[in-house]
Structure 1
Amino acid sequence: MLRMIINRVSPCSDIETQFKEVLTNRITIRLTSNNLAEITKQAKLEGYLNQSNWVPAAVLSNIHRDPVLTDNETQALRESNRQLAAIGRNLNQIAKILNIEFRESDKITKEMIQLLEDKLIQHKQKVNTLLTKNCQRWSINDEPFSD
């Protein structure tokens, strides 16, 4: 921040001429032992395989102001979509029975519909928890997601 202020105030400073773009897709940073230990601790705490995976996620999260998911979180969301698809198939079967085969509508019980509703509520809670934790990790938004 201080560097930006000095560059803006200084008459001889032209940021465009001073800035040197990196020509590779690799950036090297130097950290104190304490900072590296903190990054390592945070990466382990958040489920990253190593600090080298955590650092780009932290940078991208800051740039895009969006959550960056770990592999485990991505897998959890894929599983979530699979479960939602199964629930959707169940609902389609119920709708078919109610709309087309109305004579067999007595096969559908209130308990069956309640079970589907309970599964949807549990599912929404799991996804909400996952996304809220992710956003809090990157300090993007402290409010939980709504329906």
Structure 2
Amino acid sequence: MIQTKTRLTPEEKEALTGLARRRGVTESELLRQMIRTVTGGPEVEPVDTERRSCQVNIRLDEHERDKLAERSAAEGYRTPTTWAASAVRAAIHQDAVLSDAEIEALRDASREIAAVGRNLNQIARALNADPDAEPGGLAQAVVSVAQAVEGHKAAVSALIGRNLNRWEVVGDE
């Protein structure tokens, strides 16, 4: 990663440190999130707001480490450590954990649904502006909006299904 440095006043540093602590992320990760927000990049929310201060180390052979790196990259995780932590959380909480790529896909779907809502508002505004007008293209517009919504629902459903299957924990209880 490329490193960027800046100077902060003591008050700015204190504010940055406090916000990072409340969000449960490092100051560096908080700054990356802020940059992504300002530039329109993918936003990433922490799983919880409790600071993660405990560390667990595991030993893997070279083949296992390589497979972990391959799988974490293939599933959209920034690092193998993030993937491994997600796997542990999924097993402990019996719940799926989204990767950065999956979070971005859901955000994209949300933006598309918001655009559909704006289109519906424009259609309604046009109809309300001239109540005597023939709604010629209205039927096609409604069908188009419905198809877009169904497409996004299917994409989100598939994403959630893949995620739940990835973290499925099978065990004897």
TM over 0.5: yes
Q: Out of 60, 76, 81, which is 1:47 matched to?
A: 76
CA–CA distance in 2 between the matches of 1:68 and 1:51? 14
Q: Among all aligned residue pairs of Structure 1 and Structure 2, give the percentage whose two residues are the same amino acid.
A: 33
User: 5+ residue gaps in structure 1?
Assistant: 1-23, 141-147
Matched residue pairs, number? 117
Secondary structure of 2:133's aligned partner: helix
User: For 1:48-87, what aligned pairs fall within 5 Å after superposition?
Assistant: 48-87=77-116
Matching residue's letter, 2:82? N
CA–CA distance in 2 between the matches of 1:125 and 1:78? 15
* Residues 30 and 113 of structure 1, relative CA distance in 2, 3 Å threshold: same
CA–CA distance in 2 between the matches of 1:79 and 1:105? 34
**Aligned position for 1:91:** 120
**Aligned position for 1:3:** none
CA–CA distance in 2 between the matches of 1:70 and 1:57? 8
Q: Out of 119, 144, 151, which is 1:115 matched to?
A: 144
CA contact (8 A) 1:43 1:51 kept: yes
- State the 1:95 CA deviation: 3.5
CA contact (8 A) 2:127 2:135 kept: no
- State the 1:84 CA deviation: 0.9
**TM-score, normalisation: structure 1:** 0.67
CA–CA distance in 2 between the matches of 1:27 and 1:108? 61
User: 5+ residue gaps in structure 2?
Assistant: 1-52
Secondary structure of 1:41's aligned partner: helix
Secondary structure of 2:132's aligned partner: helix
- State the 1:107 CA deviation: 4.8
**Aligned position for 2:41:** none
- State the 1:91 CA deviation: 1.9
Segment drifting more, 131-140 vs 33-42 = 33-42
CA–CA distance in 1 between the matches of 2:134 and 2:103? 39
- State the 1:87 CA deviation: 0.9
Q: Is the counterpart of residue 38 in structure 1 residue 70 in structure 2?
A: no
CA contact (8 A) 2:123 2:138 kept: no
CA contact (8 A) 1:94 1:108 kept: no
Q: Is the counterpart of residue 137 in structure 1 residue 169 in structure 2?
A: no
CA contact (8 A) 1:40 1:50 kept: yes
Q: Flag the structure with higher helix content.
A: 1
State the structure with more CA Rg.
1
